[in-house]
A and B are shown apart, each in its own frame.
Chain A
Amino acid sequence: MTLKPLGQETQLREVLETIPDHARRLGLNEFEAFAYSKSSRCLMIDTNRINSATVVESTGLSIRVVRDARAGASFCSSFRSKDIEKCMRSAKALTASNQPDLDWPGFPCSKGKYPEVKGLFDSGLISLELNGLKDMAETMIEGARSVAEPISVTLGGVECSIQSTGVLNSSGIEAHRRETALQAFCVSLWGSGSSVTAESAQGSMSRSTNMDFEKIGRDSAEIALKSSVIAGSHTGECDVVFSPAALGDSDSGLLNIMMQKSLSGQSVIRKNSFLSELLGEQIAPKELTIYDNPVLSGAGGSKQFDDEGMPTKKKTLIKEGVVNGFVWDNYYGAKAHRSSTGNAVRNQLTGAVSSSPLNLQIRPGSGMLEDLVAEVDDGYLVWSGQGVHTSNLETGDFSFVANPGLKIRKGQIVGGARGVMISGNLLELIKGISRIGADITDYGNNLMPSIRFSNVKVTTG
């Protein structure tokens, strides 16, 4: 089956072009519409076999209107004219319930040109048939199973998608883009019952068909295999290497989850970022530089414009260990007397717009994960953090279980470490960065290498 919606970009333009007429009929002068059309194909893996195929075609239209500085928002999943009008009427009705926002700066207008961001669309993905996805999934399973007989792929998936997105507002913004994505993940474990290891996951995303599925499966399985021998662990402070996944995974990556929130201008204005009062302060060694780079060629988080239609650009947020800046959408930027940095992100259902990094990028250092491990005399490798989502994003306090966690002795992984709990504050942790790797992995909204930290507090049972 071929992905089909190549013609839908035209339809989005047609839909958005009707918005001013709908607004005029309802007497609305300030309005904004965000529309998308997405087509995706997904194969899921359960216990060493492909067990489901899903095809999803979805469209959405999110409308914000403002009357007398009172905002209202509504969402509909249909592009029919009567549904668009109903959606806009709902948004208008909701303005009556809101108090006037005296800080409302108006919808943004862009005087700049949109950047050229290469590598966001690959026609090779458009022509990818379900059989092609099946080959990718099976290659991943074979990669994992080739590592050792008791390895089981408990979960996995391959998804390809094509999406068109458009934004139009009453201040003159009209922007359109088209992008493709291919995502894959593989979760392996070793053994069964009381001897089962933790699940070890590996995944990646790409804008093209260029992905090594066999390696994803093999990497996942090799960690499960290494976890199968239980090594001793002890409470104390030691060197800990974090894998790219432990730092960058969208659901459980410690640095990604913490930094997305703390580098947001909205969090700074609301005073709930642990970095808000540290602008210009040295918080980490000079080796740490963090960009928000949504114009990076071919990256998962790259895009030409944000969810308000403002042009994106590369920003240095942490420069050689010093807090250098935050990212802003139009509203919170205005509150801080700053311009939008092109970092608006939208909750499509509620219409709420906030500011967030779009594509965090750690400046790579040198060496691969194995090189970072080789320099540890007595410590741990965190392949994945269990419970990172319970961290306190406002204070930077965290406490999670390294699962899988592996014991390192004299530069070698000697086995799995059960029940290793790592806790502290992110500001303390990053002060102890002792080496940043060059093994960058793309997690869709960040690009993360492996990093070694010194003097990490570890608790075991």
Chain B
Amino acid sequence: MDEKISFLKEICLGIIHSDPRITTSVTNYRDTSGQKLLVTSEGTCVVTDVSLAGLMTSASGRVAGRSVSSRDEVGTVTRGWDFFEKKETAKTITDRLVKRIQGQMNGIPAKRGTFPCILSPRVVGMLAHEALGHLAEADSFSTGAFGDLEGKRVAPENITILDSPSINDGFGNIKIDDEGVIARDAVLIRNGVLGEQMTDREWAARLGTPPTGNARAESYRVPPIIRMRNTYFAGGDMSLDELLEDKKFGYYCVDVKGGQTETNSSFQVGIQECYEIRDGEISKPVRDLAFSGIAVDSLQMIDGLGDDFEIESSYCGKLFQYMATSDGGPHMSLKKGAIVFGGSG
């Protein structure tokens, strides 16, 4: 406990002392561990060791009479405290959050409208989760915007999106889902063609497909429903410089503060770290903004995928249940018209 409290203090004080304009820093850590037991009338009896450690940090301040704030969230379900000792150290978290809030302090307002843009792996992950993932959950699929597109091309040929139960440092990693199904990969889009739906046992039976192991319950008090695990775009072959080089003006979106999708494939993503792109170079930081789009249209306008790959932890809410998930992918380039920016400038 003392070690953890020292860790939190190091972050809070590190943030406060890094810039006199930062007035408040708050960090919350929680870890849980135990066992999950599933018994069914079919003879299933599964005991699973579960653990979760998560850290949420926020910072706020004032500059020129204007309030600014940023936040950071990381977690693990596989590595416990070791994750914070070796990977997400106090310095890593502090530096990342200070850079982010300084971008908000020094940033210029974003323009409103549609522009070419590059999305970082963290933002690409949000797109995979919000713009596509929710619509590929079987309980939403038939009534949603993808309902009449099964087996049809919905994205360029180099686009493949998966929901996987097992990925390195995946916050949504599971071996067996909460109906006792051994979890497997679900390939949601394969080479641009709309593919498999994520299912629980009921929906797998309705569709006549083997279940994917996506039934998850927040706790024993609520029934399992179809939830994502680790959802990501597969990597491409372009460097970040190559993605940038043909853009006269646009935005480079680096970090998100949440998003939401609707059945008509409308998605909205809040951005908390962003930069202008000018003449193929990353330029000035941009303040708080959000973007939105229609997924069935936006997916068609992806014009480049990076050769890198990152996955980030997040929480997803559905039907009043909150679940640990991951999402990610490579850097991605989108044409003008793919998404609309709702800045204040």
Contacts and interface: CB of A to CB of B under 8 A. Distances in A.
A404 B48 CA distance: 42
9 contacts: A196-B263, A196-B264, A270-B60, A387-B269, A395-B68, A400-B290, A459-B340, A460-B340, A461-B294
B271 to A, nearest CB: 9
Interface residues of A, number: 52
B260 interface: yes
Interface string A312-335: 000000000000000000000000
Interface stretch (B11-19, B143-151, B230-238): B143-151
Interface in B59-97: 60, 62, 66-69
B143 A192 contact: yes
Which 3 A/B pairs are nearest by Cβ-Cβ distance?
A390-B270, A193-B148, A387-B268
A171 interface: no
Contact of B67 (A44, A197, A395, A422): A395
A424 B260 CA distance: 19
A58 B268 contact: no
Contacts of B147: 192-193, 196
A423 interface: yes
A146 interface: no
B9 to A, nearest CB: 9
A401 interface: yes
Given A196-B144, A389-B258, 10 more contacts: A270-B24, A272-B24, A272-B69, A390-B259, A390-B260, A394-B68, A394-B69, A399-B288, A401-B292, A425-B344
Interface stretch (A46-54, A102-110, A300-308, A433-441): A46-54
Interface in A88-111: 94, 97
Interface residues of B, number: 56
A97 B5 contact: yes
B213 to A, nearest CB: 20
Interface string A390-424: 11101111011101000000000000001101111
A389 B340 CA distance: 18
B121 interface: no
Interface string B132-157: 00000001001111111100000000
A222 to B, nearest CB: 17
A391 B30 CA distance: 25
A74 to B, nearest CB: 13
Contacts, number: 158
Contacts of B337: 461
A194 interface: yes
Interface of B: 1-2, 5, 23-24, 26, 30, 60, 62, 66-69, 112-114, 139, 142-149, 221-223, 256-260, 262-264, 266, 268-270, 287-290, 292-294, 296, 317, 319, 337, 340-344
A457 interface: yes
Contacts of A199: 262-264
B260 A386 contact: yes
A194 B139 contact: no
Given A47-B143, A387-B260, A424 B268 contact: no
Given A419-B340, A421-B342, A389 B290 contact: no
Contacts of A425: 344
B91 to A, nearest CB: 23
Contacts of B24: 270-272
A399 B69 contact: no
Given A196-B145, A399-B270, A389 B260 contact: yes
